[in-house]
């Protein structure tokens, strides 16, 4: 998924100031849930719009640890998501969703600009469409939930180019 220019600017600046920082959010959706569950790593929680511009949701504040894939020579690209202090409600909802292994839990990752959240309740996500992941492993214990979406479980294909001479004539010898 290519990043928007706005997201590139935020990531390039480090996002450490209040005016250019980001709020990372996750939304869990599954057929066993009455409605998607929205959480954020930002305290306190906040109300914001989804990418359709009409749906307003409240993001509950919890501790989220996102460990992005390491840059190494292995082909194994895994994202580690750890949610601490999930609470009984979210824990029981995730347990019910895990009980049906044929249907994966959809985890949607959205980022918001902190300055937009502070300015109004009409903050929109920076990326449209957001990234939706389907974790291959979910483990819920007491107050912690850990999940591992892999590169192969992304909901969209990455660009692949076949380097052929008809498309890249400079490859001819």
19: left (phi over 0), alpha (psi -120 to 50) or beta: alpha
The better pLDDT of the pair 12, 36 is held by 36
User: What is the residue extent of each domain of the chain?
Assistant: 5-154
Each residue's pLDDT tens digit, 79-92: 788 888 877 777 88
Helices marked H in 40-151:
87-98, 114-119
What sign does the CA torsion over 24, 40, 23, 144 have? negative
pLDDT bracket for residue 2 (50, 70, 90): low
pLDDT bracket for residue 73 (50, 70, 90): low
List 150's β-bridge partners, or say none. 78
Mean pLDDT of 107-136: 82
**pTM for the model:** 0.74
Token couple for 84: 């601490």
């Amino acid at each position: 998924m290519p990043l928007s220019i706005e997201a590139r600017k935020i990531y390039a600046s480090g996002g450490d100031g209040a005016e250019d920082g980001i709020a990372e959010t996750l939304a869990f959706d599954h057929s066993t849930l009455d409605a998607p569950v929205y959480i954020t790593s930002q305290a306190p929680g906040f109300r914001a719009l989804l990418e359709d511009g009409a749906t307003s949701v409240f993001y509950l504040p919890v501790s989220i640890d996102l460990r992005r894939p390491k840059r190494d020579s292995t082909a194994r690209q895994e994202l580690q998501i750890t949610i601490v202090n999930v609470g009984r409600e979210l824990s029981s909802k995730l347990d019910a969703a895990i009980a049906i292994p044929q249907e994966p839990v959809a985890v949607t990752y959205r980022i918001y600009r902190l300055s937009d959240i502070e300015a109004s309740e009409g903050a929109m996500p920076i990326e449209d469409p957001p990234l939706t992941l389907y974790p291959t492993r979910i483990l819920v214990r007491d107050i912690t939930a850990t999940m591992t979406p892999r590169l192969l479980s992304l909901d969209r294909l990455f660009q692949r180019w076949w380097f052929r001479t008809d498309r890249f004539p400079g490859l001819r010898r």
